Structure 1
């Protein structure tokens, strides 16, 4: 049974990387005001939100399976306190730090109407830190983190998110010029 938890932990981590990458890409695209494959902006936003929520589900599966896996030797405190793990504290700590950032992003997203758009956006910028920390966690903590297949996936993900982030800084990013000049409410 422990091998099942180990396999589930590995697989959910890989799926999590893919989902988080898609969420980052859709989040960036949503801010441009452009449709995606004939999907209107609200559809892109909805896909972004649903993929982000699905990421949370896979994160729960990832953490839960590793807590039950005797080989991982993960304790509940390791999931809550960054860099406190007895086994591989840096690699596990990166995952814990990413989890803490993700909790802040999810909570503010759920409270967006109550806390206001400005506070939501400030905290949401943490995803630019959360995503690379998660990627480093996968490379350093995962048993397959240094395998050729995972490194190719990580490189493709990093190139895609990096290119989208660079694109966001260009003048051509926003489809409608007024989007850049409108005040944030």
Structure 2
């Protein structure tokens, strides 16, 4: 029993894991605010107490802050030795051997946001039409980031995390409905696109979460590999090659995963 407790303790989440989850969650909340604000601003809504310039400045600052937290999220994930990810996954989608699909979606969202930030820095040279075409990709990055968070995170089954994702989804939906209500009579394409998005995205996300992350064993089905358990300091190796796959000790191995 003592050896089992020591092995379980060694498999417990590290401070870097908590930092990764916290930074990722904050980044998703900020990205949600950026997308919702962008949708509202696109509707030419301007509060009486705030100028359009101030709204634009808030939008840009929130976007930069999102990238900062995304950088922290990526650096801490790579630095965590639970799984050796490598720096390539930060920019090349689906290059990780650990939860390839879900980490790949996060990489896609990050690459899109980097492209938006880079083109915004040269907006005057690029031209408004080209910049706007790239900028629209940011709206597509949000549902991809949401799927990444739901598919990769191991805490989605907690009420507070699931509730946070639901709030993020609701905020963007309200912003889209606002945009639909204020769209001009000639903006048929915008109306149809937003109506379709407000139906397809919530349904797709809800079905995925219900059938995937909320079900038992999702951590393994998502692509969590076996990870070697190293002996604790002061312990002698027993010659057994233990693996971290969950939460119960069986025959010198830990079954079920904490990450």
TM-score in terms of structure 1 length: 0.87
Please list the CA deviations of residues 25-64 of structure 1 after superposition, one character each: whole Å capped at 9, or x if unmatched.
Answer: 1111222222247211111111000000000110111101
Deviates more, 1:29-38 or 1:103-112: 29-38
Partner of 1:150: 161
Partner of 1:105: 116
Cα distance, 1:143 vs. partner?
Answer: 2.5
Partner of 1:41: 52
Contiguous gaps of at least 5 residues in structure 1: 181-185
Q: How does 1:85-164 map to 2 (within 5 A)?
A: 85-164=96-175
Cα distance, 1:6 vs. partner?
Answer: 1.1
Instruction: Check conservation: 1:105, 1:127, Cα contact below 8 A.
Output: yes
Aligned equivalents of 1:60, 1:36: Cα separation in 2 = 32
- Secondary structure at 2:14's aligned position in 1? helix
Between the two structures, name the one with larger relative contact order (CA 8 Å, sep ≥ 6). Answer: 1
Aligned equivalents of 1:108, 1:148: Cα separation in 2 = 38
Aligned equivalents of 1:45, 1:146: Cα separation in 2 = 36
Aligned equivalents of 1:46, 1:14: Cα separation in 2 = 23
Please list the CA deviations of residues 147-185 of structure 1 after superposition, one character each: whole Å capped at 9, or x if unmatched.
Answer: 221111111111211232243234x246xx9xx8xxxxx
Instruction: Check conservation: 2:23, 2:73, Cα contact below 8 A.
Output: yes
Within the alignment, does 1:67 sit opposite 2:74 as a pair? no
Cα distance, 1:17 vs. partner?
Answer: 0.8
Partner of 2:211: none
Aligned equivalents of 1:111, 1:151: Cα separation in 2 = 38
- Secondary structure at 1:169's aligned position in 2? helix
Q: Return the structure number with greater strand share.
A: 2
| Number of residue-to-residue matches in the alignment | 174
Deviates more, 1:56-65 or 1:143-152: 143-152
Structure number, greater radius of gyration: 2
Cα distance, 1:72 vs. partner?
Answer: 4.0
Aligned equivalents of 2:47, 2:82: Cα separation in 1 = 43
